[in-house]
């Protein structure tokens, strides 16, 4: 699935994005935020550091790292303002 396909899904849908790469990364005390992009768009992934297996992998990712991202769709209207017309 490409990132643009995610925007047509309902909140709560399970998705796997293949062929994406890390565009930005920010680590906080309890979360890791990954901005992931592919040729079709941009999406943000939030990794909870309480999940030791996933957070240990996410913390090792660098900018431009390619990845397969699996998760659950959650809408965040505050973060989508810049994307409404182009995504």
**37 and 19 Cβ atoms separated by less than 8 Å:** no
Round to whole Å and give the CA distance between 20 and 76. 20
Round to whole Å and give the CA distance between 67 and 80. 22
Tens-level pLDDT at each residue, the chain (87 residues):
999 998 889 999 999 999 899 999 999 999 999 999 999 999 999 999 999 999 999 999 999 999 999 999 988 777 655 444 444
Number of domains in the chain: 1
Domain of 32 in residue numbering reads as 3-83
**25 and 63 Cβ atoms separated by less than 8 Å:** yes
Strand partners, 16: 70
User: The domain spanning residue 57 has which CATH number?
Assistant: 2.40.50.140
Tokens of 64: 């431009």
């Amino acid at each position: 699935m490409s990132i643009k396909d995610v925007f047509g899904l309902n909140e709560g849908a399970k998705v796997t994005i293949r062929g994406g790469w890390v565009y930005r990364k920010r680590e906080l005390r309890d979360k890791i935020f990954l901005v992931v992009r592919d040729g079709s768009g941009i999406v943000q992934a939030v990794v909870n550091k309480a999940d030791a297996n996933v957070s240990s992998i996410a913390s090792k990712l660098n900018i431009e790292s390619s990845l397969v991202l699996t998760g659950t769709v959650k809408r965040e209207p505050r973060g989508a303002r810049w994307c409404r017309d182009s995504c």
